[in-house]
Amino acid sequence: MSLFAPRKILCPLDLTPASESILGWAGLLAQAFGSQIEIVHADWSDAPYFFTQGQIVDLVAAAAHRRKTLSRQLHHLAEKVLGSRVSFTTTLLDGAAVDTLLAHIRTTPPDLIVIGSHGRSGFDRLLLGSVAENIARHAVCPTLIVKGPALSALPADQLQPRIHSILCPVTLSAAAPDSISIAADLASVLHAGLSILHIVEHNVLPPEDARQQLCQYLPDEVRTRCRATEIVGSGNPAEQIILHARTQHPDLIVLGAPHRSFLEFRTLGRTTERVLRHGPSPVLLVPTIPH
């Protein structure tokens, strides 16, 4: 039975040059599944600390003009990338990106989020986290994070990406079938090949035994719905997943994303975070939230 049939896709955009590519990914999935896209942009501008009563009228007028301009830009971008192939709406939100988007997601929950990550690094990212990672930490629906080369501009005659190969790393845990099933749904609908990768840590099993265990673990329906290949490796899971992705160049990685609470913050598993930050391909995170 299909687990992945998104009816509503939320696509936050910051209107940087990469927005075209991010929306192209949302458009690809919307067209494949007959989904509607809600394109959102969070607008936040600081008012001056000191202003006179007479300046209020000017500030209000400037804000209204900015919102009108942003709305036009969103609609123009949507028409350019999506045309008439996909149904879409545009929404302009007021406030800082992370808090505003999370509030919007709680109010009108989507079935899928498509968002871009511009690859910030260093202490600032460690302290604050990117917008995409903050959304992924709290989202209860699958979140596709478009990153790396996928953010590059597409040719004028190809405003949607193409997915020929999908990589789905698994741990043989109870939560893994959700990510496998969604990966199989995508591979079937998009006519893509699916590689299911299991990394055995510290060589605890001989390769043939590990391969047999993986083959027995996979639901039979996966093989009937798509071209699936089982791959077994050994070593550190995050390192081996990233190495495989860099050598095999999958168009998409589908990864189970365990959510854990750390004080008042929501965190992802260490392997998930490392693959998300250092993997070369867009990553579809499938949340597995413990009860």
DSSP string, 87-107: EEEEEEEES-HHHHHHHHHHH
Confidence of residue 36 (pLDDT cuts 50, 70, 90): very high
**Whether residue 32 is found in the same domain as residue 124:** yes
**Whether residue 202 is found in the same domain as residue 273:** yes
Q: For the segment 248-281, what is each residue's pLDDT rounded down to a tens digit?
A: 999 999 998 876 655 445 567 788 888 988 999 9
Please tell me the pTM assigned to this model.
0.87
Is 232 inside a domain boundary?
A: yes
Q: Which of 42-46, 122-126, 138-142, 273-277 has the lowest mean pLDDT?
A: 122-126
**Whether residue 198 is found in the same domain as residue 74:** no
The range of the structural domain enclosing residue 202 comes to 165-288
Confidence of residue 213 (pLDDT cuts 50, 70, 90): confident
Query: Hey, CA dihedral for 52, 57, 63, 66, is it positive or negative?
Result: negative
Is 281 inside a domain boundary?
A: yes
CA angle 127, 130, 133 (to 5 degrees): 105
Supply 120's token pair.
């910030």
Q: Mean of the pLDDT values across residues 89-97? A: 91
**Residue 265: which CATH number?**
3.40.50.620
Is 157 inside a domain boundary?
A: no
* Domain count across the chain: 2
Supply 245's token pair.
């992705």
**Whether residue 31 is found in the same domain as residue 85:** yes
The pLDDT of residue 289: 56
**Whether residue 194 is found in the same domain as residue 98:** no
The pLDDT of residue 37: 98
Query: Hey, CA dihedral for 249, 268, 119, 142, is it positive or negative?
Result: positive
Is 255 inside a domain boundary?
A: yes
Q: What integer best gives the mean pLDDT of the chain?
A: 84
Of the residues 149, 180, 197, the one at which a domain ends: 149
**Whether residue 170 is found in the same domain as residue 283:** yes
Q: Mean of the pLDDT values across residues 186-215? A: 86
Helix (H) or strand (E) holding 125: helix 123-128
The pLDDT of residue 263: 46
The pLDDT of residue 156: 66
**Whether residue 65 is found in the same domain as residue 116:** yes
Is 233 inside a domain boundary?
A: yes
